[in-house]
Amino acid sequence: MDISVAVIGGGSWGTTVAHLAAHQVPTVLWARRGELAAEINEQHSNERYLPGYKLHPALRSTTDLAEAVEQADVIVMGVPSQGFRSALELVAPHVRAWVPVVSLTKGLEQGTRLRMTQLINEVLPGHPAAVLTGPNLAKEILAGHAAAAVIATPDPVVADCLQRIFHMNLFRIYTNPDVIGCEVAGALKNVIAIAAGMADGLGAGDNTKSAVITRGLAELSRLGEAMGGQFTTFAGLAGMGDLLATCMSQQSRNRFVGEQLGQGHSIDEIIADMNMVAEGVKTSRVVMELAEEYGVEMAIASEVFAVCHEGASAQDAYRGLIRRESSGPEYPSLSY
C-alpha cells in the first residue's frame, strides 16, 4: 500500500495506533519530548505510557513536526481534547491538501462544545475528517488480544482506505458513516465510566454497577440521538462496546478516577497523581451544558458532574440517584 501515516501525540493510544499502522505502511510518530522519540527509534518502546511492551521496529519517531507531516498521506491526531485545536493549528502549515485527518480523541472541546471532527473541519477545511473509536484498551492490543474498532466518516472511499491501513487479523475495523453518534458515544461513555468506578470504590456491588452502566447507555443514547446520532450506533462497538470496556477494565483511566472518588479521595488529588488524561472529568461539564441545550435529562452524568466540579461526594451521588424519580416505563419511547 503506497501510503504513509503520521501520528501526532506519543501517549498510550497514539503510540498503539502508530504501532498498528507500522505493520501495514510507513509510519512516523511525532512526539514533543526528544527522549521519547529516541526511545521509540532505538529501544522500540514507550515505557512511560506502555511499560513492558515492544513496538513495531519499523515505527519511526521525530520531534520535527514538519518532517512528520509534510509527506504524510494520512494524519492521525492522538492528543487530548483540550490540546486538540492547538495541535491542529501547528499541523496546518505543513499538511498537504486533501489529506484525511483521523481523530483518536474521545472528548469535547471546553467552551465551544465542539466534537473533534468539527474542530478538524474548522481548522483544516477541505480535509476529510474521520474518527477511530471503539472498545480499544491499548495494552491489550499490544499484548496481541483480539479487538474491534470503528472508522467513522461519511466518505465511503476514505473509510475503505483507512480500514485497510488499520485492519489486522486480530484488530478488526468496521466502518460507520455516523460520525456524530460515534463521537458523542466516545465522549459520554467516559463520564458514565466515572460513575461505574464510583460504584467500585464504594463497594456498591455488581447489581448496582450493572444498573449504572445500562442506564448510562440510555442517557448517552438519548443525548446522542438528540444531537443527530443514529440509534444503532449506540448499540454497537462505538456505543455499548466502548462503554462496557471503559466501565469494567482495570486499565480504564476514567473508571479509576471514579473508584478513587468512591474511596474518598478528592478530584484534585486524583488528577495530580495521574500521568495520563481522564477525559470524562472535563467532559462532564460539557455534557451538562449539552443536556440543557437539547432538553435531555441525564441523571447519572449530573451526579458525576456534581462530584467532579461541585464538591459532592460519591456517597452523595449515589444517594441522589436513588432519590430520583424511578417510576414509569424503562423505555419511554421506541428509542432510548
Name the residues annotated as catalytic: 189
Residue 55 CB partners (closer than 8 Å, separation 6+): 15, 18, 19, 22, 40, 44, 45, 46, 142
CB atoms within 10 A of CB 202: 21
Q: What is the DSSP string of 204-241?
A: --HHHHHHHHHHHHHHHHHHHHHTT--HHHHTSIIIII
Nearest Cα to Cα of residue 255 among 182, 310, 196, 313 = 196
Instruction: Of 7, 99, 11, give the one whose Cα is nearest residue 60.
Output: 7
* Greatest CA separation for the chain: 61
Quote the cell numbers at residue 13: 493510544
Closest by CA to 186, choosing from 178, 121, 19, 212, is 178
Helix or strand or coil: residue 217? helix
- Can you tell me the distance from the alpha carbon of 259 to that of 202, in angstroms, rounded to the nearest whole number? 8
